[in-house]
Each structure stands twice: as C-alpha cells, then as structure tokens.
Structure 1
Amino acid sequence: MNVSKHEQRVLHALAQGGFIRHVRDGRRIVGADCFNREGHRLAGFSLDLFERMRKRGLIASRGGLPYRISQRGLEAVRAQLDNR
C-alpha cells in the first residue's frame, strides 16, 4: 500500500501509543488533532489527512473513543529509528 510521508509520520506516532482526538459538530467531524504518547500535538496534521487515513482504514475509533491505529495501519507503517 502506498502511504505518503505525512501519513507515515502520523502512523509512526500512533504505533508508539499516540491517538487522534476529533471534534464533532452534531454528526460531522469538524476538527482533529494528533497527539503522540507524551501528549504533544503533531504539527501538520489536517482534517484532510485525517479523512484520507480514515477512509483507507489506517485508523479506527471504537465506542466514541479517540482514533488509534488499526491493524491495517500497523501493516502499512514502515520501521523508523526513534532518535531519543
């Protein structure tokens, strides 16, 4: 599966324990922010990127909880070094 550089960055943060918090206006999602496991917000994450990842099945939400990486997303993410 072809995954863009921005999607790879988000998937990597989610695979390490991050989450995506979404904002609803009634039934529609009008905003989303991606946070890493330390609680820092990822820059460059947009609603368009969120919708693209959701439609491709790379992220999923269960029971109204924040979005997390799905099994399909785990299979699509490439390994990266964690420079800490």
Structure 2
Amino acid sequence: MNVSRTEQRVLHTLAQGGQIRHYKDDDGRLVEIECLTREGWLMSACTLDMFKSLRRRRLIASAGGGPYRITRLGLTAVRSRPDNR
C-alpha cells in the first residue's frame, strides 16, 4: 500500500500505543483532532485531511465512540523502523 512519509510517522506512533482523539460540533461534524503519543505528547504532523485519508483507507478505526487507533490493515501498511522495540 502506498503511504506517504508523514502518514508513516502517524501510523508508527499509533502502532506504538498512540491514539487520535476527535472532537465534533453541535451538528455532529468533525472539527478538530489531536494525535497523541503513548506518553501523552501532542503530534502536530497529523492534520484533519490526513486523518480523513487514513480513515477512508481503513488504516485507523474507532470502537464505541472512543479514540481512533490503528487497525490490522494499518499495521501491515506501516514499515518497521529501527527504534521499534
């Protein structure tokens, strides 16, 4: 699967235990997202357009209205890195 470099960074963060929190307005539309690492740091590389792209390709998913996490398909799409321990 063809995944860009910034998408790889986001998927790698999610594979290590990160999450994407989403916020909606009163009409139920998605207005803001936050990509958090497992340590709680905010990752600025994840934009709303990238989030929509990852969700459209089913690399990330939400269960029960919770934060978005990486799926099995997303785990196969992410390339390994030397610091992935």
TM range (shorter): over 0.9
Structure 1 runs (4+) greater than 2 angstroms displaced:
none
Q: Which residue of 2 aligns with 1:11?
A: 11
**What per-residue deviation string (whole Å, max 9, x for no partner) do you get for residues 10-67 of structure 1?**
0000000000000011321111110110000112211000000000000000000000
**Alignment match, 1:50:** 51
Distance 1:10 1:71 in 2: 15
Aligned residues: 83
TM-score by length of 1: 0.94
Question: What is the rounded CA distance, in whole Å, between the counterparts of 1:80 and 1:42 in structure 2?
Answer: 18
**For residue 20 of structure 2, what is the amino acid of its counterpart?**
I
Instruction: Give the fraction of aligned pairs with identical amino acids, expressed as a percent.
Output: 57
**What does 1:52-67 align with in structure 2 at a 5 Å threshold?**
52-67=53-68
- Unaligned stretches of 5+ residues in structure 1: none
Residue 70 (structure 2) pairs with residue 69 (structure 1): yes
Say whether the 8 Å CA contact 2:10–2:45 is kept in structure 1: no
